[in-house]
Amino acid sequence: MDNDCYKTILKSSKETLFKEKGSKFFGYAFPVFTENDVKNCLEELKKKHHSARHFCYAYQIGIEKIKFRANDDGEPNNSAGLPIYGQIQSFEVTNVLVVSVRYFGGTKLGVGGLISAYKTSAQLTLEIAKIIEKTIDIQFKLNFNYDMMNAVQRIIKERNITIINQKLELIASTLFQFEKKMQKLFLMFLKTFTRLILNL
């Protein structure tokens, strides 16, 4: 995968169901960007599956700086959360939460059986999720006086740079966004802009 791109899921996946010796494992994948998003998704699932015994999950948030967690939610240590996280790594996705909700079927699966079941549940869920590739974007804020407006607008147009937000107050303020791979080009833009200021 290109270092300037990353993979994630477009939207929440459909529910999957994996059965093993009477136990049912309902799988879900959600796009998440904060730990609060994770908390909200888990709360919704607990309302939906109020009689389920285990809500095991793993998530990964971030692109260049990664934050992750794997949770066994009462299952034996490392028998649920880590197998789920292993599938997140296998599919190379980020900004994603994968949850497997287990209804106990009366027969114990053993640690090996649990590892296999949670791994399969996560795999089935990520297989049906819509995985997309996105570019890593960088944002940059520039403040300038109004007599620079025409010059700035011209350079923005020439370099095909995206404007996210623009404020026109005592001084003009523009928030740009550009792909990480365009960083060198953007630095050239800044040098050009600096030269224009010095020449005024």
Which residue type occupies 25? F
pLDDT in tens, 100-158: 999 999 999 999 999 999 999 999 999 999 999 988 776 667 676 767 777 777 777 77
State yes or no: pLDDT of 189 exceeds 90.
no
State yes or no: pLDDT of 94 exceeds 80.
yes
Domains, the chain: 5-134 (3.30.230.30), 137-199 (3.30.70)
Angle at 49 between CA 41 and CA 62, to 5 degrees: 20
Instruction: Give the pLDDT of residue 174.
Output: 67
State yes or no: pLDDT of 196 exceeds 80.
no
99 band by pLDDT with thresholds 50, 70 and 90: very high
Calpha distance 87→96 (Å, rounded) = 11
State yes or no: pLDDT of 73 exceeds 50.
yes
State yes or no: pLDDT of 34 exceeds 90.
yes
194 band by pLDDT with thresholds 50, 70 and 90: low
pLDDT in tens, 78-89: 999 999 999 999
For residues 118 and 56, is the Cβ–Cβ distance under 8 A? Answer: yes
Beta bridge partners of 142: 174
Identify the helix (H) or strand (E) that includes residue 190.
helix 183-199
State yes or no: pLDDT of 1 exceeds 50.
no
pLDDT in tens, 18-28: 999 999 999 99
Distances (CA, A) of 19 to 8, 100, 162: 27, 12, 48
Instruction: Give the pLDDT of residue 166.
Output: 75
Cβ partners under 8 Å of residue 184, min gap 6: none
- Of 120, 123, 60, the residue nearest 96 (C-alpha): 60
Mean pLDDT across 159-169: 72
Instruction: Give the pLDDT of residue 197.
Output: 47
Which residue did the predictor score with more confidence, 30 or 63?
A: 30
Strands in 67-71's sheet, in edge-to-edge order, are: 16-20, 23-31, 96-103, 54-61, 67-71
Beta bridge partners of 100: 27, 56
